[in-house]
Amino acid sequence: MFNIHDLTNRVTVNISDVRDPHAMASLVRERAFLFNLAGQTSHLDSMTDPLTDLNINTAAQLHILEACRLHNPKVKIIFASTRQLYGRPHYLPVDEKHPINPIDVNGINKLAGEYYHLLYHQVYKIRACALRLTNTYGPGMRVKDARQTFLGIWIRNLIEGKPIEVFGSGRQRRDFNFVDDVVEAMLLAAVNPASDGEVFNLGSTEHLSLQDVASLLVRLQPGTHYELVPFPADREAIDIGDYYSDFTKIRSALSWCPQVTLREGLIKTLEYYRQHHAHYWP
């Protein structure tokens, strides 16, 4: 709730479960836009508890879409999809034509959730689109554990003065988007009809190895260090290796281009958690 502490007099908060069709039916009415971000986001949890992931990331998406079809067919939906559905890249950078080959339960369920949105556009003309997010980070992200992304637990450990762990060789390359750039992409997709029925990769022109990201972070938080540790078997089995996106499509169609460098974004993120960590972990 602290993520919205400075907005509370401008928003109405309704805490519901997306698996509740009655709640969805009432919440989608009379809305112009639906930013559909709620999800089970842990890849590891999707392997140990696949049915919860299925119910949230797939079945509940049908509840939401049915609610829109029946109660608000004019709504514009922006669905937060994921680069995970490409699996291990066959080529880099990965564009939207890359084969789909998810390598974990979460990737399969998110793919189905995304495809339902596209289907409801094709069949019912619901104005849905999907953005395939890559590693997104910034103030407000989950940092108390490693369930959302490795960057979360790294940031917590850095603030606590603990070493951060880089799995394997640390040479896997990735791209990252600061949260403000992702929000901008969602707003551009919301207001531009060119996005209707489309999927877009988000991404960045900066591609860094995990070891380079760790080095950057320890320079930004003096007195800390990182360690290379063996890849835990359960994580290695669902790791996608090198990944970075080609985001030409959204740049051409919606004029989106990320503005915040990784260094700037990490400085802002570390500063945020230095100040506010008490609200994010005990």
Ligand X SMILES: NC(=O)c1ccc[n+]([C@@H]2O[C@H](COP(=O)([O-])OP(=O)(O)OC[C@H]3O[C@@H](n4cnc5c(N)ncnc54)[C@H](O)[C@@H]3O)[C@@H](O)[C@H]2O)c1
Q: Is 36 helix (H, G, I), strand (E, B) or coil?
A: strand
Identity of residue 141: M
Task: Decide if residue 260 touches ligand X (CB under 6 A).
Answer: no
For 62, what's the count of Cα atoms within 13 Å in the CB-facing half-sphere?
Answer: 6
The gap from C-alpha 229 to its chain's centroid, in whole angstroms, comes to 25
Site track 135-174 with ligand X (rule: CB under 6 A), x = hit: xx-----x-----xx-------------------------
- Cβ–Cβ < 8 Å for 24, 64: yes
Task: Decide if residue 39 touches ligand X (CB under 6 A).
Answer: yes
Task: Decide if residue 224 touches ligand X (CB under 6 A).
Answer: no
Task: Decide if residue 54 touches ligand X (CB under 6 A).
Answer: no
E strand map for the chain: 33-36, 76-82, 127-133, 135-137, 164-167, 173-174, 176-178, 199-201, 208-209, 226-229
Task: Decide if residue 190 touches ligand X (CB under 6 A).
Answer: no
Nearest approach, Cβ of residue 72 and ligand X (Å): 18
Nearest approach, Cβ of residue 256 and ligand X (Å): 16
Task: Decide if residue 245 touches ligand X (CB under 6 A).
Answer: no
Task: Decide if residue 262 touches ligand X (CB under 6 A).
Answer: no
Task: Decide if residue 82 touches ligand X (CB under 6 A).
Answer: yes
Task: Decide if residue 19 touches ligand X (CB under 6 A).
Answer: yes
Name the segment binding ligand X (CB under 6 A); options: 16-24, 69-77, 254-262, 263-271. 16-24
Q: Which two tokens stand for residue 196?
A: 């209707």
- Residues in CB range of 174: below 8 A, 6 or more apart: 134, 135, 207, 208, 209, 210, 213, 242, 243, 244
Identity of residue 47: M
Task: Decide if residue 109 touches ligand X (CB under 6 A).
Answer: no
Exactly one of 24, 28, 56, 153 binds ligand X (CB under 6 A); that residue is 56
**Residue 11 to residues 5, 80, 122, 134, Cα–Cα distance (Å):** 10, 21, 32, 28
Name the segment binding ligand X (CB under 6 A); options: 32-40, 186-194, 256-264, 273-281. 32-40
User: Which residue ranges make up the site for ligand X (CB under 6 A)?
Assistant: 17-19, 37-41, 56, 80, 82, 110, 133, 135-136, 142, 148-149
